Chain A
Amino acid sequence: MTSQPQPHGRVLIGKPGLDGHDRGAKFVARALRDDGFEVIYTGIRRSAEEIAAAAVQEDVDAVGLSLLSGAHNELFAAVLEALRNAKAEDIPVLGGGIIPEEDIPDLKRLGLRAVFTPGTPVEEILSAFRAAVEEHRKGRSV
């Protein structure tokens, strides 16, 4: 028995594609844990379908994607599509990495809820996840 705080929700941090640099993904995963999220980390080099399947099995409230290779336009879109195919398009997706400013509006049009770049303060990332998770929990049918 304890008065330990209850988690804000469950999030999955995934790294799609071939880039093997997960310093950013791990940094965000740890920050989310320290903020009170249950964070499922998939490890590097996952396909969009693998990330979507894991998000569904783990019943997460949000998915965070990290990408440093420059293939964000293709791979973020692939994850969104994989989630649609898994009937999980309601799970919000947030993305981060080395992403040029000019790509951000297109990524948001694609369906990304937020896009973070190397200069984004961690508090901004955390509050974006908090808001996305809260909204997702409210909108759930069961």
Chain B
Amino acid sequence: MSPGADTLLAGVREKDPRAIGRAISIVEDGGPLAASILAALEHPCCEAALVIGVTGPGGAGKSTLTQALIAHYRTEGRRIGVVAVDPSSTLSGGALLGDRIRMMRHALDEDVVIRSMATRGRAGGICAAAGAAVRVMAYSGCEIVLLETVGVGQAELAVVHLADLTALVLAPGLGDDVQAMKAGLIELVDAIVVNKGDQPAAQALLAEMQAVAAATHRAVFCTSASDGTGVAQLAAGLGELADTLRQSDRIALRRQAARSIEVMDWALELLRPELKAAVAALGPLSGEPQALARLAIARLKATEE
């Protein structure tokens, strides 16, 4: 292992915030040290951490709820990680990452490690980066890592598969688009949280969700994240859920599935530059696109043999 990676990993182990921040960037950007860092992260402590997905539509209160869960877990003395995923602009490649605003009250607590991450247009590729970030946090001693993602869009939804268990956060009054996405999301999640429970319309949403939950065996919680109401019950419920999933080996199965998604992501990430070159080498493109893609792949394989 290169001395740079060695020093960095020792820093991560000692919970040095700078080392943790650098290590996540290196694995996310695929820098020269990435391979040695990723190899070292295959460590029992990374298996021990519980990864909880927090997803839902914009405006449901995911970041506020994440903040409230952090506050709760901190009263239990647990070290917590948060990976907050937001979409990149497809035009500029830039991103505005604002989830931290709601979590700033933990900014000076060194046992709360927060990282904002942009999807960077990686169709699923974000899973490779987010999965690595989760493991860096676990390696630094985080017992629980919260994985927050807006549940809209392919890349953002793919992230949900990395979590051991996932909570869908909804709130009253978010409109019709939420109705459509609920159907697809409910089958992916283990728990439904009706947030902003202090609002009058929350009771109707809660009743609706309880009916859905009864039919699909999902747990339902009601919170008001801004003042912490219901958060302790939610944390306890998620803990019980995690225990049940562990006992039935379902967490192990999910992790195997997550691993295969991450491997696929890395394969695509690593192959992308070569594929790009192979397509460029075809010259000016005219003709049927799928046939051209097959041709590019065939030539790429031929050069490797």
Binding site for B on A (CB under 8 A): 1-8, 10, 29-30, 32-43, 46-47, 49-50, 53-54, 56-59, 86-88, 141-142
Find out whether the CB atom of A38 lies under 8 angstroms from the CB atom of B95.
yes
Total inter-chain residue pairs, C-beta < 8 Å: 116
Q: A33-B95, A87-B18, A142-B7 given as contacts; is B114 within 8 A of A38 (CB)? A: no
Closest to B26 in A: A142
Find out whether the CB atom of A7 lies under 8 angstroms from the CB atom of B104.
no
With A7-B120, A33-B94, A42-B100 given, can you name 11 additional A-B contacts, CB distance below 8 Å?
A: A1-B275, A6-B120, A34-B92, A35-B92, A35-B94, A38-B94, A41-B96, A41-B97, A54-B107, A57-B21, A86-B17
Bound form: Cα–Cα A33–B7 in Å: 33
Binding site for A on B (CB under 8 A): 4-5, 7-8, 17-18, 20-22, 24-26, 33, 88-98, 100-101, 104, 107-108, 113-116, 118, 120-123, 268, 272, 275-276
Closest to A88 in B: B18
Bound form: Cα–Cα A4–B88 in Å: 9
Find out whether the CB atom of B94 lies under 8 angstroms from the CB atom of A32.
yes
Find out whether the CB atom of B96 lies under 8 angstroms from the CB atom of A142.
no
- Chain B residues with Cβ under 8 A from A41's Cβ? 96-98, 100-101
- Chain A residues with Cβ under 8 A from B22's Cβ? 59, 142
Partner of B123, one of A1, A38, A39, A142: A1
Find out whether the CB atom of B97 lies under 8 angstroms from the CB atom of A39.
yes
Bound form: Cα–Cα A32–B18 in Å: 24
**Smallest CB separation, A9 vs chain B (Å):** 10
**Smallest CB separation, B290 vs chain A (Å):** 14
- Chain A residues with Cβ under 8 A from B8's Cβ? 142
